């Protein structure tokens, strides 16, 4: 949707004197008035005050404004307030821009920052909302208690189908969130079903590892914890000793299971119950109470340290160990049954489902990569969610929190329709060569190839991004060899407009890391930012080779890419793509002797100092390479 | 699909050295799909050349244009306005497109911006493999659907040479990853298909002699008489 009649209102807010102490706002106003295109401009002392808000509302009507540029601060409270006001007046949030002038200290700098924002507002396409029909039904995959719990919780809001992935298996998934088509195999027959969302609750698989217990094999009297639990025998009058801490060292699942079993045994008349442990882990909801209760009921808690020896005979088993607190050589516990904790490993179906669903596994083969940006329940695909131990053993409150989060997430489809802002990339069919590059590079499986007469190229086909699946990283746009893809709010036009007259150093900064670090860095060393221009991108994977070159061609001396740490890109591999593009761009510079002018920096949001250090390093690099001789004088 | 790679820019800079205004012409066909000559690469090369020439104190003006296919005259007609303004053209289409665009505008020198490599498949993002050498007399029916001309490093037609070892071609070097022996692939496929007897059939040597000059292809049933 392009809007032909763009009417921009500019508000120059002094933020209660904060801005005018550095720059003369009336001079800024005069300068803008003489050069820029807009409908209305005025200064204000505190434009966020109630009286002012009413005035702004009236002005929106009076001048028929349909876009706003608020120059002043960037306070989230105030931006929210303005967005609300704008939306009440029918201007949607994507047509309102805020510009923070608090770090700017010259009229020229202020004017150029305003012009740059204004230009973007002019170029921006109008963003609408789409209402999509979705299937409320949710598929839960898993046979254990975790799957049962999440299915039950979801079923309060919308229909749920639970399958165990054994008797009924998922063999294929097509489509997108809200309308996944899942192929299920049962008794040798496949059938197709429609689901809005898919929840994986496979649980974890206990696995006995003899090596952890000095090579002891399981037998009649020495059992693994899961054997013990599954057998569910009558142990009245027997002595049971549990051994904890050798296996499953990182999770609480065994500790929780042992405490529960000890209490059960006590209740059912076992003669004695020991829990032999090295470190007692009770740091989850309710475990501490169970531990206290077990002690009260007479469960013996025995601490061991280091070496131990297990002997199993036909009438019982012994555990010999060193007591860390008593000055005795060895302690020997004899029991009717010795129960050994196991490790937890991903269930066999984890890898298979990962491939079928195009989602990823991480360390240890569990679902999901190790990445600070990933919320626990989220996979790389929207509305394919994890709950419970299938992404690493969890227990208690953590599990309930996940279930709650999943219920909230899938409830978006409960009413059979979903409203989304239309922010997914657009493909200009005329330019699409249907090369599949975007389709293959999208980390979120959000792209399909569609066919029809309306696609005016030689294939009558084009790539299309699904609004519910797309996470707006812009990686696809950065890859497209035909320049057919534009990401709303970050179109090539908008981004390249910002570097038309670049500062000495242009830093393309990922909004999840580099940009936040730059905001922090400003407060640490405001001087350093003078020769620096930050260009925000949604993900470093949006930084096109051409962005790097254009900044230099237009006169920057150096370009930086500020990206998330390795393995920590919010969009899976955006930072790796950015690094590959940096290598390419630097090679292109080297080929024509333009020197080392591109810096690639991994930085987290809280690393303001590292950010400043990197900027200094870039400045030094430029000092050595000299000013950019490749600048093209127009 | 035709697969090409970008030509080293120093070569391109040499070609355009005498000129002040140049058109870089992209193609939305094969070379866009193989990520070498679409609108994006046109932009990148243009920017790189502009900077290189600025650095040398010899600025150049570059126009950029990409059209559907440079192997069709109708699409090449779309370049007219820009061609009229420039001293030379650098085409990022395959060798066919470069020549064909050049034929359309014989008064303007045209230069290749790419090296045309092969007829290949796109194995994954950024990876291509040759599958056909357009020999003009296809033998895939006899070889289990695997091309001996392309997949055998020596284009042998009747079984492997003595250098086939453990399924690898002797041409493999540490620098170039293991090359599977084409005839081993053919043997394996035929044996899986239960058609090993096809190996016994002698494929006569091909006539590579191009006595008739460049190949042409005419279908009388389709040619259009415009008179
Ligand atoms: S990468 Fe570009 S040209 Fe290729 S399929 Fe996607 S939109 Fe089309
Ligand atoms: S913007 Fe990102 S998530 Fe959306 S389609 Fe492109 S690559 Fe996929
Ligand atoms: S000119 Fe070459 S690259 Fe372009 S479509 Fe034709 S054959 Fe393919
Ligand atoms: S035999 Fe090989 S080179 Fe010849 S046409 Fe067939 S595939 Fe192509």
Q: Å from A510 to nearest chain B CA?
A: 22
Read off the pLDDT of residues A529-546 as tens digits, 9 standing for 90 and up: 778 999 999 999 999 999
Q: Are residues B112 and B140 in the same domain?
A: no
In this structure, are strands A485-486 and A426-427 parallel, antiparallel, or unpaired?
antiparallel
Q: Do A236 and A268 contact (CB within 8 A), yes or no?
A: yes
- Chain A residues interacting with chain B (CB cutoff of 8 angstroms): 431, 433-437, 440-441, 457-458, 479-484, 544-546, 549-550, 552-553, 588-589, 591-594, 629-633
Contacts (Cβ under 8 Å, ≥6 apart) of B87: B18, B19, B20, B21, B22, B108, B109
Q: Does one domain contain both B155 and B54?
A: no
Handedness of CA A594, A596, A597, A600 (dihedral sign): positive
Of residues B112 and A5, the one with the higher pLDDT is: B112
* Best B47, B53, B69, B121 residue to mutate vs chain A (most A CBs within 10 Å): B47
Flag if A592 and B124 touch (Cβ within 8 Å): no
CB contact residues (below 8 A), chain B span 93-152, against chain A: 122, 124-125
Chain A interface mutation, best of B13, B38, B97, B122, highest count of A Cβ atoms under 10 Å: B38
pLDDT of residue A1: 43
A484 in contact with ligand 1, CB cutoff 6 A? yes
Domain end marker among A447, A471, A486:
A486
Q: Do A435 and B52 touch (CB under 8 A)?
A: no
Q: How many domains does chain A have?
A: 5
Q: Residue A199: inside a domain, yes or no?
A: yes
**How far apart (Å, rounded) are the C-alpha atoms in residues B58 and B63?**
16
Q: Are A218 and A310 in contact (CB under 8 A)?
A: no
Q: Residue A94 in contact with residue A124, Cβ under 8 Å?
A: yes
Q: What is the pTM of this model?
A: 0.89
A48 within domain boundaries: yes
* DSSP code, position A361: B
Q: Which parts of A367-423 fold into alpha helices (H)? A: 397-410
Whole domain around residue B167: which residue ranges? 134-210
Domain count, chain B: 2
Are A185 and A80 in a shared domain? no
A372 and A240 in one domain?
Answer: no
- B204: which 2 tokens? 């006569």
pLDDT band at A3 (very low <50, low <70, confident <90, very high): low
The region, left, alpha or beta by phi > 0 then psi within -120 to 50, assigned to residue A388 is left
B126 is a domain residue:
no
A153 and A87 part of one domain? no
Mean pLDDT of B151-157: 94
In a shared domain, residues B66 and B29 = yes
Regarding whether A627 and A505 lie in a shared domain, the answer is yes
Asked whether residue B112 falls in the same domain as residue B151, the answer is no
Q: Is residue B66 part of a domain?
A: yes
In-domain check, residue A340? yes
When pLDDT is cut at 50, 70 and 90, the band that residue A250 belongs to is low
Closest by alpha carbon to B155, among B86, B222, B114, B208? B208
Query: How far is B58 from A629, CA to CA, in rounded Å?
Result: 12
pLDDT confidence of B115, banded at 50, 70, 90? very high
Is the Cβ–Cβ distance between A117 and A28 less than 8 Å?
no
- Asked whether residue A132 is assigned to any structural domain, the reply reads no
Do B113 and B10 share a structural domain? yes
Residue A527 lies in a domain: yes
* The pLDDT of residue A2 is above 60: no
| Full strand arrangement of the beta sheet holding A197-200 | A160-163, A138-141, A197-200, A384-386
Query: Confidence band (pLDDT; 50, 70, 90) for A175?
Result: very high
Domain assignment present for residue B219? The answer is: no
What is the rounded average pLDDT of the residues A369-388? 90
Per cent of chain A over pLDDT 90 is 65
Write out the H or E segment, with its range, that includes residue A84. Answer: helix A76-88
Q: Are residues A97 and A233 in the same domain?
A: no
Instruction: State chain B's mean pLDDT as an integer.
Output: 93
Q: Which of A574, A275, A595 is nearest to A441 (CA)?
A: A574
- Are A56 and A186 part of one and the same domain? no
Per-residue pLDDT of A322-353, as tens digits, reads 887 777 778 889 999 999 999 999 999 999 99
Same domain, residue pair A625 and A591: yes
User: Does A133 map to a domain?
Assistant: no
SS3 A396: coil
Q: Is residue B217 part of a domain?
A: no
B103 and B164 together in one domain: no
Domain boundary among A367, A394, A413: A413
Question: A188 and A220 in one domain?
Answer: no
- In this structure, the answer to whether residues A220 and A264 fall within a common structural domain is yes
- Residue A113 and residue A145 in one domain: no
CATH number at residue A183: 3.50.50.60
* Contact check, Cβ <8 Å, A592/B32: no
Q: What is the pLDDT of residues A303-329, one digit of tens each?
A: 888 788 999 888 999 999 888 777 777
CA distance A601 to A579: 9
User: What CATH number did the domain enclosing A21 receive?
Assistant: 3.40.50
Q: Is residue A445 part of a domain?
A: yes
Q: Clarify whether residues B59 and B161 are in a common domain.
A: no
Which candidate from A436, A458, A480 shows the least CB-CB separation from B68? A458
Task: Give A330 or A411, the one with higher predicted confidence.
Answer: A411
Q: Which chain A residue's Cα is nearest to B37?
A: A481
Dihedral sign (CA A377, A381, A383, A385) = negative
Does a structural domain hold residue A167? Answer: yes
Q: Tens of pLDDT along A182-228?
A: 999 999 999 999 999 999 999 999 999 999 898 899 999 999 999 99
Residue partners of B205: CB distance under 8 A and separation at least 6: B157
**B11 near A CB under 8 A:** no
Give the domain extent around A166: 138-203+347-413
The sign of the torsion formed by the CA atoms of A372, A375, A380, A382 equals negative
CA atoms of A553 and A499, how far apart (whole Å): 10
Q: Please tell me whether residues A516 and A626 are part of one structural domain.
A: yes
With cut-offs at 50, 70 and 90, classify the pLDDT of residue A110. Answer: confident
Single residue among A127, A161, A184 that ends a domain in this structure: A127
CATH code for position A606: 3.40.50.2300
Domain identity same for B55 and B111: yes
Same domain, A401 and A505: no
Do B89 and B45 fall within a single domain? yes
């Amino acid at each position: 949707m392009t809007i032909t009649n763009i009417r921009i209102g500019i508000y120059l807010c002094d933020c209660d004197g904060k801005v005018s102490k550095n720059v003369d706002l009336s001079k800024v106003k005069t300068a803008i008035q003489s050069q820029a295109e807009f409908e209305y401009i005025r200064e204000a002392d505190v434009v966020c005050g109630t009286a002012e808000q009413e005035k702004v509302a009236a002005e929106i009507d009076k001048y028929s404004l349909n876009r706003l540029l608020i120059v002043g601060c960037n306070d989230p409270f105030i931006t929210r307030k303005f967005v609300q006001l704008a939306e009440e007046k029918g201007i949607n949030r994507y047509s309102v821009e805020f510009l923070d002038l608090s770090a700017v200290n010259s009229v020229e700098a202020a004017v150029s920052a305003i012009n740059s924002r204004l230009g973007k507002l002019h170029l921006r396409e109008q963003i609408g909302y789409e209402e999509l029909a979705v299937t409320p039904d949710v598929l839960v995959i898993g046979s254990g208690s975790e799957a049962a719990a999440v299915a039950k919780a979801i079923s309060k809001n919308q229909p749920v189908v639970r399958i165990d992935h054994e008797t009924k298996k998922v063999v294929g998934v097509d489509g997108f969130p809200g309308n996944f088509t899942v192929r299920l195999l049962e008794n040798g027959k496949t059938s197709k079903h429609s689901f809005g969302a898919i929840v994986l609750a496979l649980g974890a698989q206990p696995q006995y590892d003899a090596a952890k217990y000095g090579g002891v094999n399981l037998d009649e009297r020495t059992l693994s914890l899961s054997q013990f639990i599954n057998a569910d025998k009558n142990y009245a009058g027997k002595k049971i000793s549990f051994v904890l801490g050798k296996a499953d060292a990182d999770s609480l699942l065994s500790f929780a299971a042992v405490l529960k079993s000890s209490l059960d045994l006590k209740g059912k008349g076992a003669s004695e119950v020991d829990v032999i442990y090295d470190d007692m882990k009770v740091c989850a909801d309710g475990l501490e109470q169970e531990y206290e209760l077990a002690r009260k009921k007479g469960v013996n808690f025995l601490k061991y340290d280091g070496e131990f020896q297990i002997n199993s005979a036909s009438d019982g088993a012994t555990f010999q160990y060193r007591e860390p607190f008593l000055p005795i050589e060895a302690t020997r516990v004899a029991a009717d049954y010795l129960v050994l904790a196991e490790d937890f490993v991903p269930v066999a179906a984890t890898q298979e489902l990962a491939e079928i669903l195009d989602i990823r596994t991480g360390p240890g083969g569990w679902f999901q990569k190790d990445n600070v940006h990933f919320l626990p329940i989220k996979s790389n695909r929207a509305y394919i969610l994890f709950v419970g131990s299938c992404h690493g053993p969890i227990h208690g409150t953590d599990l309930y929190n996940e279930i709650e989060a999943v219920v909230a997430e899938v409830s978006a489809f409960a009413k059979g329709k979903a409203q989304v802002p239309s922010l997914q990339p657009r493909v200009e069919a005329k330019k699409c060569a249907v090369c599949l590059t975007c389709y293959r590079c999208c980390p979120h499986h959000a792209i399909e190839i569609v066919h029809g007469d309306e696609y005016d190229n030689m294939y009558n086909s084009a790539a299309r991004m699904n609004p519910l699946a797309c996470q707006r990283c812009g990686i696809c746009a950065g890859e497209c060899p035909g320049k057919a893809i534009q990401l709303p709010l970050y179109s090539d036009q908008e981004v390249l407009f910002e570097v038309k007259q670049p500062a000495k150093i242009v830093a393309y900064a990922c909004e999840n890391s580099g940009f936040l670090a730059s905001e922090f860095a400003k407060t640490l060393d405001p001087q350093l930012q003078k020769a620096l221009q930050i260009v925000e991108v949604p993900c470093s994977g949006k930084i096109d080779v051409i962005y790097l070159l254009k900044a230099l061609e237009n006169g920057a001396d150096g370009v930086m890419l500020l990206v998330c740490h390795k393995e920590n890109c919010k969009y899976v591999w955006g930072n790796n793509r950015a690094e590959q593009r940096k290598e390419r761009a630097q090679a292109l510079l080297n080929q024509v002797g333009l020197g080392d002018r591109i810096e690639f920096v991994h930085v987290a949001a809280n690393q303001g100092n590292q950010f400043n250090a990197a900027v200094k390093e870039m400045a030094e690099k430029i000092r050595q390479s000299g000013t950019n001789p490749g600048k093209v004088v127009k | 699909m035709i697969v090409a790679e970008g030509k080293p820019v120093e070569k391109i800079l040499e070609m355009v050295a005498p000129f002040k205004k140049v058109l870089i012409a992209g193609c939305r066909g094969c070379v866009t799909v193989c990520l070498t000559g679409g609108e994006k690469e046109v932009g990148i090369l243009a920017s790189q050349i502009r900077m290189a020439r600025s650095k040398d104190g010899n600025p150049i003006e570059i126009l950029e244009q990409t059209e559907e296919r440079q192997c069709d005259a109708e699409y090449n007609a779309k370049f007219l306005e820009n061609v009229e303004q420039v001293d030379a053209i650098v085409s990022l289409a395959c060798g066919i497109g470069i020549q064909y665009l050049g034929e359309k505008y014989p008064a303007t020198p045209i230069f290749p911006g790419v090296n045309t490599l092969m007829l290949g498949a796109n194995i994954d993002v950024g990876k291509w493999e040759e599958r056909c050498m357009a020999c003009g007399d296809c033998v895939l029916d006899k070889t289990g659907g695997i091309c001996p001309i392309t997949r055998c490093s020596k284009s042998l037609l009747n079984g492997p040479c003595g250098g086939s070892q453990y399924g690898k071609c002797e041409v493999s070097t540490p620098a170039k990853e293991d090359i599977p022996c084409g005839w081993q692939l053919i043997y394996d496929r035929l044996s899986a298909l239960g058609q090993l007897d096809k190996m016994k059939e002698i494929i006569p040597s091909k006539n590579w002699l191009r006595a008739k000059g460049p190949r042409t292809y005419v279908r009388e049933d389709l040619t259009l008489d415009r008179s």
